[in-house]
Structure 1
Amino acid sequence: MDTLTRIRAFIDVVDAEGFSAAARRVGRSKALLSKYVRELEDELGALLLNRTTRQFSLTEAGHTYYRTASDILKEIDNLADLVRANNSDLRGRLRITAPRTFIDAEIGQSFVDFSVAHPELSLDIVAEDRFVDLVEEGFDVAIRITKLEDSTLIARKLDDFQLLFCASPSFLEKHGPLDHPSALARVPCIIDTNGRNHGNWRFAETDGSTFSVAISGPLEVNSPLACLRAAVAGLGVSICPDFIARSKIASGELVTLFDDYLTKDRGIYAIYPHRRYLPAKVRTFVDFLHAWFRRHR
């Protein structure tokens, strides 16, 4: 029996948190999996699992071996996917996390269009506004709408992105004119609590320097769509992602403010873990999104 099979058995047992659960998951007997793990331990000359009649736990050596072996197997599987992609259709499951606003907005159609174009791939999409740990939580790709920061992850920019400051015409008639961002300190604002510094809104000067304005208001909510609706209702000034605000601006329901002070350091990115052999399904998905945004600008 080859070492790779023994390694897979060990990882299956750890992932399933038990021999019985692993046996059910992979369709092999509990005795066979136990045999493979025992042979792996004999080969290594180290105990990987502490076994009792009811449960098991990883030894220190087991923890170290599991982390490294998992990465090695992923690389092997990714390399196999890469080779298969040149000879056959893509197949399998792609696990994606994206902000709720992205999924609910018109640009969320990009996921649907990808599924239509690649019915052989199954998409598992999780709407999540927080920044998930792709490796720890088992995601293949994340869509992030953000200012890109240094990371061990790989990022590909899909499109430009702008946060717009918006208010309704009726609100501006009552509280205007608002000629400079500093005026926000004296008027009601709608606060999206998804922002890292949601109590302070950041602006850019023409020389590239930035400044912030402390704001407050009648509504705080972790939903850009709710903030948009509140702004349309005249409750205050709101920060709105451009891809959900465009239609309201075009219809005249909202007016943009401080366009000369907008920061330009954000974008829509596809993020994925750094791997030597990028899975073909991930590469195909990211390439599709990049082309989709080029067509729909």
Structure 2
Amino acid sequence: MDTLTRMRAFINVVEAEGFSAAARRIGKSKALLSKYVRELEDELGALLLNRTTRQFSLTETGHVYYQRAMEIVREIDHLSETVRESSGDIRGRIKLSAPRTFADVPIGQSLVDFAAAHPDIVLDIHLDDRFVDLVEESFDLAIRITKLEDSSLIARRLAPFRLPLCAAPTLIEKYGRPKHPRDLQHLPCIVDTNNRFRHQWHFREADGSPILVPVSGPIEVNSPLAVRTAAVAGLGFAIQPDFIAAPEVKAGRLVPLLDEYLTDGAGIFAVFPHRRYMPAKVRALVDFLARWLKENCSEDDRL
């Protein structure tokens, strides 16, 4: 058995955090994966994994080997993809990170449609509201709904969106309409803890100067959909992506406020780590998402 096969087996076991999970993921037996990893350790003369019936972890040597092995396997895969790309053949696995919100709202259909259009590509989708480390965790691509500020990454803006301030009519009737963003520091607000600024909401004056407003309220939650539900219930003023708020605004259950003070620059981005080469399969996904969002998200879907 060649070293590359053993190396891939080791990487699969590390990424799945165990032999059983890796076996289920790639359709190999647990015994076979264990054999490959054991042979790799014998070949190297070093222990890569600490494993008992209850615990699984990388040794220090295993951690170093994993990082370097990932680079080697990635380069080999990219070389193969370069050849396939020249023949128009797009296939393989794409490890994708996306926020749960992306999958939970209608725009998540874009990933399903891509998978249907490209049966030779496996979309390995990890839904997580945190910002994953693309290099450390070996992701090919991440979808981020944000104002992008990390200059260490390569990004393509797939679609714009706004972050409107909204409130239920009953809440406005109770507290009145805020006339300036700073009024919010004295009013109940719903905090989305996915927002990196959380309790410091960002607005801007007409001259472009920034306004930072400290906010607090009865609910803090890491879900824009839960924020919307709480806002509709009249529990507080809320900031949320326009494609989340739009249905409730159109139904009259939420009212946009202080539009003239909103910041711009937010968008749905495809983000990739710095690499010399972008695989054809990743480029195909990014192009598909940009086209899908343009065709399926009209201005009526935003505020």
Contact preservation (8 Å) 1:90, 1:281: yes
Contact preservation (8 Å) 1:48, 1:59: no
Matches within 5 A, 1:175-214: 175-214=175-214
Q: Does residue 9 in structure 1 map to residue 6 in structure 2?
A: yes
- Aligned pair in 2 of structure 1 residues 24, 119: CA closer, same or farther (>3 Å)? closer
**Which residue in 2 is equivalent to 1:132?**
132
Could you tell me which amino acid in structure 1 is paired with residue 70 of structure 2? S
What do residues 197-252 of structure 1 show as CA deviations (whole Å, max 9, x unaligned)?
A: 21221111122221211112122211111111111121211111111111211222
The structure 1 segments of at least 4 consecutive aligned residues displaced by more than 4 Å after TM superposition are 21-33, 36-39, 47-52, 54-60, 62-66
**Which residue in 1 is equivalent to 2:156?**
156
**Which residue in 1 is equivalent to 2:301?**
none
- Aligned pair in 2 of structure 1 residues 175, 102: CA closer, same or farther (>3 Å)? same
The count of residues paired between Structure 1 and Structure 2 equals 286
* TM-score, normalised by the number of residues in structure 2: 0.80
**Which residue in 1 is equivalent to 2:100?**
100
Q: C-alpha root-mean-square deviation of aligned residues, in Å? A: 3.4
**Which residue in 1 is equivalent to 2:264?**
264
Percent sequence identity over aligned pairs = 51
Larger radius of gyration: 1
**Which residue in 1 is equivalent to 2:253?**
253
Contact preservation (8 Å) 1:75, 1:276: no
- Aligned pair in 2 of structure 1 residues 25, 86: CA closer, same or farther (>3 Å)? farther
Q: Does residue 82 in structure 1 map to residue 82 in structure 2?
A: yes
Contact preservation (8 Å) 2:201, 2:214: yes
Cα distance in 1 for residues equivalent to 2:110 and 2:60: 45
Contact preservation (8 Å) 2:9, 2:33: no
State the Cα distance separating 1:88 from its structure 2 match. 4.9
State the Cα distance separating 1:137 from its structure 2 match. 2.6
- Aligned pair in 2 of structure 1 residues 26, 146: CA closer, same or farther (>3 Å)? farther
Contact preservation (8 Å) 2:168, 2:254: yes
Cα distance in 2 for residues equivalent to 1:244 and 1:29: 46
Greater Cα offset, 239-248 or 6-15:
6-15
2:284 is paired with a residue whose SS is helix
What do residues 106-163 of structure 1 show as CA deviations (whole Å, max 9, x unaligned)?
A: 1111112212221222222222111112233332221111121234332111111211
Gaps of 5+ in 2: 299-303
What do residues 18-72 of structure 1 show as CA deviations (whole Å, max 9, x unaligned)?
A: 99x99957969948983x7777x6xxxxx665899x9998676x76565334313
Contact preservation (8 Å) 1:10, 1:37: no
Could you tell me which amino acid in structure 1 is paired with residue 193 of structure 2? T
- Aligned pair in 2 of structure 1 residues 261, 113: CA closer, same or farther (>3 Å)? same
Gaps of 5+ in 1: 42-46
- Aligned pair in 2 of structure 1 residues 33, 112: CA closer, same or farther (>3 Å)? same
2:231 is paired with a residue whose SS is helix
Contact preservation (8 Å) 1:143, 1:270: yes
State the Cα distance separating 1:91 from its structure 2 match. 2.4
Q: Does residue 165 in structure 1 map to residue 165 in structure 2?
A: yes
State the Cα distance separating 1:282 from its structure 2 match. 0.8
Contact preservation (8 Å) 1:228, 1:245: yes
